Structure 1
């Protein structure tokens, strides 16, 4: 079983890691939704898109939630704040789902990012 501390360490590594780490960590069947085109991706397309994004140097998670709906499946939700060398801050609410492939071998099968909504005007 992956404990909560290991879950958050693994998730943080996905924000700061190399493209090789993504290739090892993102499942071939992964579905991903991000706030930039093409928005909805799967499998190799998701790995390629994530590999092309900047590596964040500072990442923090708040509003953390962990669910274990069944053996071998973990779902997390959180708010992330990420920056690179103290600049280019990015914030989003995220979810990720992990599937266990084998003993201590987990991959991401789903990831979603929703940036905070901009202030809207009321009518």
Structure 2
């Protein structure tokens, strides 16, 4: 059984509020104040969930430096009120940081949705030789 500490519970709440403010800021035509607040809440929530040392180690790993630069640079641009350019930089950095996780997440989502034609299309695009439908 996984034990969740109080700091991690607070971190989940902060991360959730951060994502809410990010989505709300994008919906309001890239409102820089909401995006900046969302970015700060998201990053502080991430630190609360994983810890300061593990968060720093994640962003400073050699093969993730370019993604970290774009993501954190995008946060800095949003804080300087260049919200559209900052969000584009953040999205690119987020993609670079988590690109190895995207196939795993997409396969999980597709297996949960269980749409055979969509799953078959994904299998053919990913180059898998398996012709099974579903997990």
Q: Which has the higher contact order (CA 8 A, sep 6+)?
A: 1
Higher helix share: 2
Query: Structure 1 length normalisation: TM-score?
Result: 0.31
Q: Which has the larger radius of gyration?
A: 2
Higher strand share: 1
Query: Structure 2 length normalisation: TM-score?
Result: 0.29
